[in-house]
Amino acid sequence: MTSTAGTGALHHVEIWVPDIGRAAASFGPLLEALGYAPFQRWDRGRSWRLGATYLVCEESSALSAGAHDRLRPGLNHLAFHVATRAEFDRLVDEAVRIGWRLLFPDRHPHAGGEQSCAAYLEDADGFEVELVVSGE
């Protein structure tokens, strides 16, 4: 596959996870609902691609800890654009249905401030994904 991405465009993100089955069950349906397609699959890993960018979840044998803590140095969260408020509401409902937990539910969808429309979601392993309505 030839890429038309220019210098500086994000190529891929790789997330090391403690359990590939749980990661695939949470990230897979959410990424596919966002338009990503399954890209690669191996015993301890999966990836999903959108255009020239892909996201990898891997259960590496080199993990030095058994759990992710988004409040420690390192990855805090991934944020994804969502085109419309209707699509956003559908995606949030679907994410919760498949096991993502809505963070800050008392301030949803304005936990980032009244000027924003975003959902902050956490999976069973503590990974956070933010869905942001573009243009709001």
Per cent of the chain over pLDDT 70 is: 96
| For residues 35-61, average pLDDT | 97
Q: Phi-psi bin for 45: left (phi > 0), alpha (psi -120 to 50), beta?
A: beta
- pLDDT per residue over 123-134, tens digit each? 999 999 999 998
Residue 93 pLDDT: 97
| For residues 52-63, average pLDDT | 94
Q: Quickly count: other Cβ atoms within 10 Å of residue 87's Cβ.
A: 15
* pTM of the predicted protein model: 0.90
Q: Over 80: is that where the pLDDT of 3 sits?
A: no
Q: Over 60: is that where the pLDDT of 6 sits?
A: yes
